[in-house]
Structure 1
Amino acid sequence: MAADLPKTMRGQFLEAFKQPYTLRSVPLPQFSHPDDILIKVDAASYCHTDYVLAEGQMPGFPRSFPHIGCHEFAGTVVSRSDRPSPEATRFDPGTRVGVTGRAFHACRECFECQGSKDPIAQDDKGYSVYCTRAENNGISKDGGFAEYAVVDARQLAPIPDALSAVETAPLMCAGITIYAALKRCQMKPGDRIAIMGAGGGLGHLGLQYATKMGYKVLGVDAADGPLELAKSLNTGARIADARSEQAADIVQQLGGEDGKSDLGEKGVDAVIILPESQTAFDYGLTLLKTHGRCVVVSFPEKGFHISSRDVVFRDISIIGSLVGSNRVLREMLNFTAEHGIKAVAKTFPLSDLNGLVEEYHKGGGGKLVVDMSL
């Protein structure tokens, strides 16, 4: 590592489940692999998965305490290992990069790394976000709630000049996840899509991406703050309050707008499920036309109940979506910069991560980000 780097860094640590974070100083992390790159973290975004992990709802993770969370962050390259891999040499010191948490030290050898059949997750041979042998920043290994982090060069994407670190960090999980989910819907401009949880961290980005992709967009939520946020974006999407508008009524209204008389033709072509609520899942499936596609992003602890009648008699396809490949990540960043898409975010200093968590529990929607410059 560079000789002028500090010997220690500050980080926010989980010491146990269901406990506040603890801020303390520790030695800088060390390299262990030719793909390793040390970055100075500039911004780190809080994800619902950070909450799930801290509550002990991800069996087996973290593997030990103390633990540094955050799997969506952005920073500046400061050094590489003494014998860097070809992938690591692509990132010179001073390069601004976004970091997705998945596939740290992907094995290069497994079925996925040798060539996944999934076009959304497909990367160059030797790397896959679905590698089962890989670690994950912020989940199985330390992440971005610290001043420095060691990352895998193959995880990284250069940040476009138009985006700041604070704007980029939420895109490293929320952005790539909703962007990849939209691609899995396999729609064409003019098709209709519904986003359940439209005012949340993923949902409000999804409203912006979907409208810029040329889709007719219906955003659905069931809380005042997220609904207000979704409406404030002025994307042109229709925003529905699930507490007062029935899915079946919306289906009839959309059918009228589209000039359709057959019930099977009325509704949306695809729906993305972001909340962990069975009610939201059922609402979303009701919105679908016959032969529609339901893309599930959330993973509630007890799962979802799926109606076999929807699957069999209406030919509804239900698929999952995790994240996209590094190729799709870069595509998403360029799309974001080109179309001026922004995460609605509230920032906090690293020292007030627990205050950020308190804000998260208020359920106001949007994203919450640690800005290391504060």
Structure 2
Amino acid sequence: MSTTEIPSTMRAQFLDSYNAPFALRTAPVPAPTDPHDLLIKVDAASYCHTDAVLAAGAMPPHPPAFPHVCSHEFAGTIVRAGPAAPADLQPGVPVGVPGRSLHPCGTCFECAASPRFDADPPGYSVDCPSASNNGISAHGGFREYAVVDARQVAPVPPALSPVETAPLMCAGVTVYAAILKSGVRKGQRLGIMGCGGGLGHLGLQFATKMGLRVTGVDAADGPLALAKGLDTGADVVDARKEKAEEVRRRLGKEDGKELLGEMGLDAVIILPESQQAFDYGVDMLKNHAKCVVVSFPQKGFQVSAFSVVFRDITVVGSLVGSNKTLREMLAFAAEHNVKAVLRTYPLSKLNELVEEYHKGSGGKLVVDMSLE
């Protein structure tokens, strides 16, 4: 238990219906209900594309209950810890909080023996179908206090501030896990479609600092400028000016290849929701390569049977990462100085943040609770 005085009420931004602005109101501070629960004082909360999808009523498969508090990537400081919380997660410890997985059942096939490539020890899984998700099916981080599960969070390294940590809790761990799932090894080629967006620009940093040869692709001035300004050494391509096959052949010539089938990328990560971006990414791949899909447009993607059958292209999905991967990602980010390009807003200006998000300038937008 904490000796820190905890107020009875807090400020929170509520979504009261789809396609509506957020409403700032006072609400009771939530109470822990499970031995694994942590009550945290939220220090920063980031806005993610999934927040926009949810707010528009397009989040599959289960809608939230209104009023709802968004943000599934946030950071805070523990003020109260349940009896099942481990020694490294006690009051005063700063933590990063992803949305998944709040109160898993601990016994389903996912929890007992998860088939994930980065599975956590038995008893916990980010894929538990019975679990809630902070910011999606349960309240998230756009409030001053939140209840989270000690099994889902990670201690924050001293090198990272709360504002820097929050975007890593979804954007960071999601693209990091996608890079791992791609199977690309040091010296091989990885493509990132949407390289100037929230996930994409973090992916450029992670992948290049892993020693991968990275080609980032975008098709808008703002995100392209952001990606090029990172100075990662990645090859940043404007899809409006260079066709996918031209990129593929150029890379092949750099590698001294003569046949088209051996030219191009070893894997590509698809972050945008457009069919055009998906096709562009697949067309940059060499034969026998892998396409990792992270985005989930409502109408899905059409996959070329020719690419799958005649070129042996493998298409796989990747959704967030395990707690094990979360901790690995945070340690890597702290060691290699991987940080989001971001802008901050006070909690009271969340609707202004959302307006800025829809301009599509790239990077991440974060609520900093220390701002008035």
The two structures have a TM-score, normalised by structure 2, of: 0.98
Secondary structure class of the residue paired with 2:151: helix
For 1:217, give the aligned amino acid.
V
Distance in 2, matches of 1:150 and 1:40, equals 9
Task: Return the letter of the residue paired with 2:45.
Answer: A
Alpha carbons of 1:152 and 1:13: their partners in 2 closer, same or farther (altered >3 Å)? same
Aligned to 2:34: 33
Following superposition, the deviation at residue 304 of structure 1 comes to 0.2
Aligned-partner residue type, residue 114 of structure 1: A
Structure 2 residue identity aligned to 1:45: S
Aligned equivalent of 1:162: 159
Q: Which runs of 5+ in 1 are unaligned?
A: none
User: What's the CA shift for 1:145?
Assistant: 0.2
Q: Residue 221 of structure 2 corresponds to which residue in structure 1?
A: 224
Is it true that 1:295 corresponds to 2:281 in the alignment? no
Other-structure match for 2:94 = 96
- 1:370 alignment counterpart: 367
Partner of 2:54 in structure 1?
Answer: 53
Q: What is the identity, as a one-letter code, of the residue corresponding to 1:22? A: A
Structure 2: segments with no counterpart, 5+ residues = none
- In structure 2, C-alpha distance between the alignment counterparts of 1:249 and 1:350, rounded to whole Å: 46
| AA matched with 1:44 | A
Match of residue 117 from structure 1: 115
- What's the CA shift string for 1:315-346, capped at 9, x where partnerless? 00100000111111110000001001110000
Q: Specify whether residues 373 and 89 from structure 1 end up closer, same or farther in structure 2 by C-alpha distance, changes over 3 A only.
A: same
The 1:172–1:31 alpha-carbon spacing in structure 2 relative to 1, beyond 3 Å, is same
Residue in structure 1 matching 2:175, options 178, 181, 185: 178
The corresponding residue for 1:8 is 9
Give yes or no for contact 2:88–2:155 (8 Å, CA) kept in 1.
Answer: no
Q: What is the aligned counterpart of 1:243 among 218, 222, 240?
A: 240
Q: How big is each residue's C-alpha offset from its partner over 1:236-285, in whole Å with a ceiling of 9 and x where there is no partner?
A: 00110001110011111111111000111000100000000000000000
Q: Which amino acid aligns with 1:307?
A: S
Checking the alignment, whether the CA contact within 8 Å between 1:53 and 1:61 is kept in structure 2 is no
Quickly say closer, same or farther: Cα 1:181–1:371, change in 2 above 3 A.
same
Which one-letter code corresponds to 2:280 in the other structure? Y
* Superposed displacement of residue 61, structure 1: 4.2
Structure 2 counterparts to residues 353-368 of structure 1, below 5 A? 353-368=350-365
Letter in 2 for 1:352: K
Distance in 2 of aligned mates of 1:156 and 1:118: 18
Deviation by residue 1:59-103 (Cα, 9 ceiling, x = unmatched): 56443211101100000000023xx21x45541100000001011
Percent of residue pairs identical: 63
Structure 1 stretches of 4+ moved >4 Å: none
> Match of 1:109, as an amino acid?
T
Corresponding position: 1:142 with 2:167: no
* Structure 1 residue identity aligned to 2:322: S
Deviates more, 1:9-18 or 1:60-69: 60-69
1:126-141 matched pairs, under 5 angstroms: 126-141=123-138
1:274-300 deviations in whole A, cap 9, x for unaligned?
000000000000000000000000000
- Give the CA deviation at 1:58: 1.6
Alignment partners' CA distance in 2, 1:90 and 1:14: 34
Give per-residue Cα distances to partners, 1:45-69, cap 9 Å, x unaligned.
0000000001111256443211101
Provide the rounded CA distance (Å) in 1 between the counterparts of 2:184 and 2:264: 14
Q: CA deviation at 1:309?
A: 0.8
1:107 to 93, 105, 108: 105
* Partner SS state of residue 13, structure 1: strand
> Which residue identity lines up with residue 105 of structure 1 in the other structure?
H
In the alignment, the residues of structure 2 paired with residue 168 and residue 242 of structure 1 have an alpha-carbon distance, to the nearest angstrom, of 31
| Partner SS state of residue 173, structure 2 | helix
What is the TM-score with the length of structure 1 in the denominator? Answer: 0.97
Aligned length: 370
Q: Which is worse superposed, 160-169 or 87-96?
A: 87-96
> In the alignment, does 2:250 pair up with 1:253?
yes
Name the SS of the counterpart of 1:52 in structure 2. helix
Inter-CA distance 371–182: structure 2 relative to 1 (3 Å threshold) = same
> Secondary structure at 2:352's aligned position in 1?
helix
Contact 1:62–1:141 (CA<8 Å) still a contact in 2?
no
Provide closer, same or farther for how the CA distance between residues 214 and 119 of structure 1 changes in structure 2, counting only shifts above 3 A: same
- What are the within-5 Å matches in structure 2 for residues 301-320 of structure 1? 301-320=298-317
Q: Separation in 2 of the partners of 1:293 and 1:273?
A: 11
Secondary structure of the residue that 1:41 maps to in structure 2? strand
Equivalent pair of 1:273/1:280 in contact (CA under 8 Å):
yes
For 1:27 and 1:198, the matched residues in 2 are separated by: 40
Mapped to 1, the partners of 2:89 and 2:233 lie a distance apart of 39
Mapped partners of 1:314, 1:60: distance in 2? 33
Q: Do the aligned partners of 1:7 and 1:27 also contact (CA within 8 Å) in 2?
A: yes
Indicate if the aligned counterparts of 2:182 and 2:267 stay in contact, CA closer than 8 A.
yes
Q: CA RMSD in A?
A: 1.1
Which residue of the partner structure matches residue 70 of structure 1? 71
- SS of alignment partner, residue 26 of structure 1: strand
